[in-house]
């Protein structure tokens, strides 16, 4: 969760958005985090680099909770 938060904040920082103090499972990647498809691509590669899991490989992921489930598998 902590590493995921760091990754998310690194992307938000690149977009000049304020860093998040907390992330919660129900947060939506697009509406709450304000991620575009390019930001989501960056998120995917950073998560893959850190956890060796490709979160978008089998279908769309919409929330932080869904990412956590994929990482826990």
Partner 1 sequence: MSKNILVTGCSRGVGLEICRVLLREGYNVYGIARSYTDEFKVLEQEYIGHLFFKSIDLADSGGVRKSVFKEFVTNDILLDGYVNNAAVAYDDIVTNLNIDRLKAMYEVNVFTPMVITKYAIRNMLLHKTRGSIVHISSISVHTGYKGLAMYASSKGAIEAFSKDTAREWGQLGIRSNVVVPGFMATAMSASLTEEQRAKIYARTSLKAATNVGSVAETVAFLLSDKACSITGQNVYVDNGTI
Decide: is 6 part of the binding site for partner 1 (CB under 8 A). Answer: no
Tokens 């992307």, located at residue: 11
Of 49, 59, 60, 73, the residue at the interface with partner 1 (CB under 8 A) is: 49
Q: 21-33 burial, b for 16+ CB within 10 Å, e for fewer?
A: eebeeebebeeeb
- Only segment of 1-9, 23-31, 46-54, 61-69 that touches partner 1 (CB under 8 A): 46-54
Decide: is 51 part of the binding site for partner 1 (CB under 8 A). Answer: no
* Torsion from C-alpha of 71, 69, 29, 9, nearest 10 degrees: -40
Decide: is 12 part of the binding site for partner 1 (CB under 8 A). Answer: no
Sites of contact with partner 1 (CB under 8 A): 38, 41-42, 44-46, 48-49
């Amino acid at each position: 969760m902590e590493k995921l938060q760091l990754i998310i904040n690194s992307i938000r920082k690149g977009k000049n958005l304020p860093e998040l103090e907390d992330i919660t499972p129900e947060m939506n990647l697009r509406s709450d985090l304000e991620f575009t498809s390019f930001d989501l691509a960056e998120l995917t590669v950073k998560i893959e680099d850190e956890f060796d899991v490709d979160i978008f490989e089998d279908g769309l992921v919409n929330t932080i909770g869904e990412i956590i489930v994929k990482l826990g598998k």
